[in-house]
Structure 1
Amino acid sequence: MWRGSITTAKEARRRMVLLNKATEQYSYIKTCIPTTFSLMIPVVDLSKPDAKTLIVKACEEFGFFKVINHGVPMEAISQLESEAIKFFSMPLNEKEKAGAPNPFGYGSKIIGHNGDVGWVEYLLLKTNQEHNFSTYGNNPEKFRCALNNYMSSVRKMACEILELMAEGLKIQQKDVFSKLLMDKHSDSIFRVNHYPACPELAVKGENLIGFGEHTDPQIISLLRSNNTSGLQISLRDGSWISVPPDHKSFFINVGDSLQVMTNGRFRSVRHRVLANGIKARLSMIYFGGPPLSEKVAPLPSLMKGKESLYKEFTWFEYKNSTYGSRLADNRLGHFERITAS
């Protein structure tokens, strides 16, 4: 498997025209200390009998955890990563043939529709429809096969995790969450992010933002990356910790929809990516979402006489509301009945 940077800094500047404009267009975070990796990140071994208990605990305390023994073949991971590297290494005009991300396709720097930018380029793909892969490099069929094999394995893992989660919550309907991802109308999304190395833009005492702080709106997100650092998550007290990279494992995010379905027992994790000054970072994220018509509300089996913190909404309504927001906005605020705590 590829370990190093995708391109040199010089190549990144040449190939990513949109990312090579004045650095004041980007955001920085002031920091006076070197990045230290946190040992707090929960680790769940999916092959162990205590997995369901550890998943619930991690979702309650962090909204985030790492999974090992996940069952996704390393060959499938390596093949898709290799195809993604080839794609992002192409000249900009070739990458743009994949189409603008409206909503699916190739994009760079601009994240969303409301002014957010980052040191990133990306591919955004739908998981339940065929794409025109004729523009995806010199061997589009190989890209298509690698993508389908990877997504099939990751969706299976996502459903396993969600069913273990339901068991851990003592919900009788084991597939209460997973059935939404398995539905043929599931609005799940797949994203590949490439963060070029940027040594020239590294300002002393500051870090360049690759992808600004946000929560994921879906039910659950499954992320893996190469061995380059950059991912950070926010703790309940508002402090940020750096996640040690691990190319063999997956990192799981609780999304906004799962927070609502558990009536705030699980909290969607706020996270961000800082650009690496030396190496490029490549991440692949599967966002497990429900069908557009699915009603999202706290599950009755988890209420036990408690008052609902959220108004019921459809996934279509919530997804629409996110288009008018910035990355860092609290999107769930529009749907709260009382202040979630």
Structure 2
Amino acid sequence: MEVEFVRQEDESVQVVADNIRGTGEVPERYVRSEIKADPVIVDAEGYNLPVIDMSRLLNPEFSEEEIAKLGSACEHWGFFQLVNHGLDEGLLQQIKMDITKFFSLPLEEKLAVAIPPNGMEGFGHHFVFSKEQKLDWVDLLFLATRPIERRNLTLWPAKPSTFRDTLDKYSLELANVSAQLFKFMANNLGVDQEALLSTFKGLPQSMRINYYPPCCQADRVLGLSPHTDGVGMTFLLQVNDVEGLQIRKDGKWFSVQAMNGALVVNIGDVLEILTNGRYKSIEHRAIVNSNKERITIAVFQSAHLFCTIGPLQELLKAGKAHYNAVDGVEFTKGYFAAKLEGRRTSRHVPKRFSQSNHAQRQGRQISMAHARAAGSLPVANVQELAQTCNRSDEQVPERYIRADANTEEVITDYGNTSTIPIIDLSKLYDPQSSHEECAKLGSACQQWGFFQLINHGVPDEVICKLKKDIADFFNLPLETKKTYSQLPNNLEGYGQVFVVSEKQKLDWADMFYLVVRPDEARDMRFWPAHPPSFRKSIDTYSSETAKVARCLLEFMAKDMGAEPASLLELFQGQPQGLRMNYYPPCRQASKVLGMSPHTDASGLTLLLQVNDMPGLQIRRDGKWFTVDALQGAFIVNVGDVLEILSNGKYTSVEHRAVVHPNRERISAAVFHRPCQDAMVGTLPELLKEGNSKARYRSMSYMEFMKRYYSAKLDGRNHLERLRNEL
């Protein structure tokens, strides 16, 4: 993630401190007039941080009592000291020694791991956005430590020689401690452990190692400006015996006296939001000593970037959300996009606080990471509405009546000329038939944009299990399904999509949408616990269909005349969304639409008919005709992204869903999408011919998806607006 910090011309506060020892004059940019604005408590009696004993949390005999203490500490203080945490004493001594040795190195050696322009990791400063801004009296070393693949080892110091290994071990130990604490917190909150842990899937982690030089005018500078932490939880280890942490309580500052061997733990903004304000993210700062250096290491346990940060659904049963939901990427950008300023970071999501400057600039736009978008307006549950309309003389509400449902001819008797092509995946794999079947695949994508895929290799038991679990989910009581309802500004969950105005015509359908790949993008709050096998069924089905999609994309690249690797690279990680659709019966079926005419903003869509009720119609030659799904086949269609990548050679075809007067219809669509940082534009290999020009504008996939979800479904119009004039 890039952040535009102002580079400090390799200025080290440690060097500044050495230079002023003779003059005694602190440079003006470090002088902080606000340092004495609030009273500082000298006699801290009654203000001692709560102490939580991990060994008692783990002991069944004392666990309940200690969990209650933990909850009280998080609610009333937002800070506590953790003792008997289980970290090896030898490891703690080693990391303290390595950190001290690193900051004792000559400046030139420390600058070997300096923060690069617009970067965050390395040695230097954070939160500096202008050359006029007041500065903190600190040097820092910031590193991303987990997951391991995020590590940039070029910025991990090679000196002292043991440093990297020590950091690795310390990172693992703290990840284990944090996982245990999250579980005990879930117990205290009365929520499902998985619901809380899903926000921290993979236990993303970073470390900030702070060096506060002594300052002869310590009462005029701040080591670290007042702030809250934009993470889930922070663990602070005092490297030497110099105090400096102050927390703000009851409008006053008081110093924290770290217990020997304890970790000082504080709640971050993410946990405050997840708990709907029950746990508190408390403002804190660091002061400096006039004679002695102070060194600390803070380990931040963060939310994973592809989660949605909002109050846990289980905590909203008895009240309203105090915070708006926000995408993890956008939240993190918001935190690092402004200087440290008290509790301003929490304010860029709560409903009850005024918006921060960052939120005003962003207009509360939510990132579209892996199809998370600006959400949809809430509407009535159609399954419940259908029960009322179908059992009485009551008419279908006007918002569902579609004058356009029968304006074009619908083909009811279609012969072989109107049957969508059938592609056999086993023939694509077979060297003897692969060339011929690949040509059929290309023709289907060019002429139809749809085909039925047989012999796809997904086991029957996997498909049958998913079908049963989907049907069982939609048969659950409405109140049970509503526990997985969409949050504001989010597409995931149970509800509806593409509703952007109160006057818009509505579709006769309920849907349940989940981001299913990559694994770390999953928000388990929305993954149903009922039926019990549902989560496993979705996971297995997702994995199997990802294999199918990868295979199809590889053969499509060959047909296009592109390198398979260049096409597959755009779908790296195989991002995938699953939308399960429930179309209730409607006795006025000819007047409603299950889903409005549209194209799919994906690369490929694999549709599974859950029951035997047809309803998919595709538009061809200005007419609609119904697709009869073959037993055991997937209905596959080309999405907008593939049309653009192929420069219009493949066609993303308009389609819709109709409903039946007497029977429900259920389907499940898996959308295979590019990775979030992909550029959507014509593949370069297809523009090598001298006369070939790009027919579509290129743009980031994030921007493409924002456009797609910011309007109602409207045929191919959104795709046509991207065409270049040739």
TM-score where L is the length of structure 1: 0.85
Aligned-partner residue type, residue 246 of structure 1 = L
1:197 equivalent in alignment to 2:585? yes
Q: Give 1:244's aligned amino acid.
A: D
* Change in CA separation of 1:166 and 1:320 when aligned onto 2, cut-off 3 Å: same
* RMSD of equivalent CA atoms: 2.6
Q: Aligned letter for 2:471?
A: I
Alignment of 1:59-98 (within 5 A): 59-98=445-484
Q: Which amino acid aligns with 2:723?
A: E
Residue of structure 2 equivalent to 1:6: none
Residues 116-145 of structure 1: CA deviation (Å, up to 9, x unaligned): 5211111100022333368725444x1110
The DSSP-based 3-state class of the residue aligned with 2:494 is strand
Matched, 1:106 2:494: yes
Compute the displacement of 1:107 (Å). 0.7
- Aligned equivalents of 1:51, 1:117: Cα separation in 2: 40
Q: Which of 636, 650, 653 is residue 252 of structure 1 equivalent to?
A: 636
**Stretches of structure 1 lacking an aligned partner (at least 5 in a row):** 1-8
Deviations 1:138-193 (A, max 9, x none): 444x111000010111111011111111122232x223333433x23x54211110
Which one of the candidate residues 377, 398, 401 is aligned to 1:24?
398
For 1:144, the equivalent position in structure 2 comes to 535
Specify which structure has the higher proportion of strand.
Answer: 1
Which structure 2 residues correspond to residues 250-289 of structure 1 after superposition, within 5 A? 250-289=634-673
Structure 2 distance, partners of 1:72, 1:15, is: 39
**Residues 111 and 118, structure 1, Cα contact 8 Å, conserved in 2:** no
Q: Is the 8 A contact 1:207 1:274 kept in 2?
A: no
The C-alpha deviation readout for 1:216-259, integer Å capped at 9, x for no partner, is: 01111111113211101111x22212111334101111111111
Segment of structure 1 superposing worse, 28-37 or 226-235: 28-37
Matched position secondary structure for 2:508: strand
The aligned runs of 1:15-54 (5 Å cut-off) are 22-26=396-400, 27=402, 29-30=405-406, 35-36=412-413, 39=416, 40-48=419-427, 49=434, 50-54=436-440
Give the equivalent residue in structure 1 for 2:523: 131
Question: What secondary structure sits across from 1:328 in the alignment?
Answer: coil
One-letter code aligned to 1:264: G
Which residue is equivalent to 1:176? 566
Measured in 1, the distance between the counterparts of 2:463 and 2:415 equals 25
Candidates 502, 507, 513, aligned match of 1:118? 507
Pair 1:209 & 2:581 matched: no
Task: Establish whether residue 229 from structure 1 lines up as the match of residue 614 from structure 2.
Answer: yes
Moved over 4 A (4+): 9-12, 31-34
Whether contact under 8 Å (1:44, 1:65) holds in the other structure is: yes
Q: Alpha carbons of 1:33 and 1:213: their partners in 2 closer, same or farther (altered >3 Å)?
A: closer
Shift of 1:37: 5.3
Per-residue CA deviations over 1:302-341 (Å, capped at 9, x if unaligned) read 22221111121010011111122220151123322126xx
- 1:58 partner letter: A
Match of 2:602 in 1: 218
**Contact 2:411 2:626 survives alignment (8 Å):** no
Q: Aligned AA for 2:397?
A: T
Distance in 1 of aligned mates of 2:410 and 2:451: 25
**Residue identity matched to 2:661:** G
Residues 72-115 of structure 1 deviation map (CA, whole Å, 9 limit, x = unaligned): 1111111111111111111212111012162100015x644343
Q: 2: CA distance between counterparts of 1:319 and 1:157?
A: 24
Contact preservation (8 Å) 1:228, 1:281: yes
1:157 paired with 2:542, answer no
User: How far apart, in 2, do the equivalents of 1:174 and 1:162 lie?
Assistant: 8
Specify the alignment match of 1:4 in structure 2. none
Report if the CA contact (8 A) 1:220-1:252 is conserved.
yes
The worse-fitting range, judged by mean Cα deviation, of 239-248 and 207-216 is 239-248
**Secondary structure, aligned partner of 2:566:** coil
Deviations 1:9-33 (A, max 9, x none): 99951699xxx98432212523897
Cα distance change of structure 1 residues 233 and 34 upon mapping to structure 2, 3 Å threshold: closer
Is this contact kept in 2: 1:227–1:247, CA < 8 A?
no
The farther-off stretch of 49-58 and 112-121 is 112-121
Q: 1:15 to 1:160 in 2, by over 3 A?
A: farther
Cα contact 2:410–2:624 (8 A) shared by 1: no
**CA pair 234-139 structure 1, distance change in 2 beyond 3 A:** closer
Q: Which has the larger radius of gyration?
A: 2
For 1:161 and 1:30, how far apart are their aligned partners in 2? 35
Counterpart residue identity of residue 576, structure 2: S
Question: Match for residue 13 of structure 1?
Answer: 387
- Are the aligned partners of 2:560 and 2:646 in contact in 1 as well (CA < 8 Å)? no
What is the rounded CA distance, in whole Å, between the counterparts of 1:252 and 1:157 in structure 2? 11
Q: Retained in 1: the 8 A contact 2:451–2:637?
A: yes
The separation in 2 between residues aligned to 1:256 and 1:223, in whole angstroms, is: 16
TM-score (norm 2): 0.41
- CA contact 2:645–2:681 (8 Å) conserved in 1: yes
Structure 1 pair 167–34 and aligned structure 2 pair: CA distance change class (3 A): closer
Say if 2:708 and 2:718, in contact at 8 Å, map to a contact too. Answer: yes
Question: Secondary structure of 2:466's partner?
Answer: helix
CA 1:21–1:136 in 2, change beyond 3 Å: closer, same or farther? Answer: farther
Name the CA shift for 1:11/1:24 in 2 (closer, same or farther; >3 Å).
Answer: closer
Residue 290 in structure 1 maps to residue 674 in structure 2: yes
Question: More deviation in 327-336 or 279-288?
Answer: 327-336
Say if 1:38 and 1:94 are closer, same or farther in 2 by CA, change over 3 A.
farther
Aligned-partner Cα distance in 1 for 2:527–2:676: 28
Equivalent-residue separation in structure 2 for 1:325 and 1:111 (angstroms): 6
1:97/1:135 contact within 8 Å kept = no
2-structure distance, mates of 1:58, 1:42: 6
Question: 1:319 corresponds to which letter in structure 2?
Answer: M
Q: Could you tell me how far apart the structure 2 residues matched to 1:178 and 1:284 are?
A: 24
Tell me, what secondary structure is at the counterpart of 2:668?
strand
Task: For 2:709, give the aligned amino acid.
Answer: Y
User: Are the counterparts in 2 of residues 231 and 273 from structure 1 also a CA contact under 8 Å?
Assistant: yes
After superposition, the Cα gap between the structure-2 partners of 1:134 and 1:53, relative to the gap in structure 1 and judged at 3 Å, is: closer
Tell me which moved more, 324-333 or 303-312.
324-333
| Percentage of matched positions with identical amino acids | 30
Are 1:38 and 1:244, in contact at CA under 8 Å, matched by a contact in 2? no
| 1:48-92 alpha-carbon deviations (Å, 9 max, x no partner) | 122211111011101111111111111111111111111111121
The structure 2 residue matched to 1:323, chosen from 700, 709, 725, is 709
Aligned AA (1:291): C
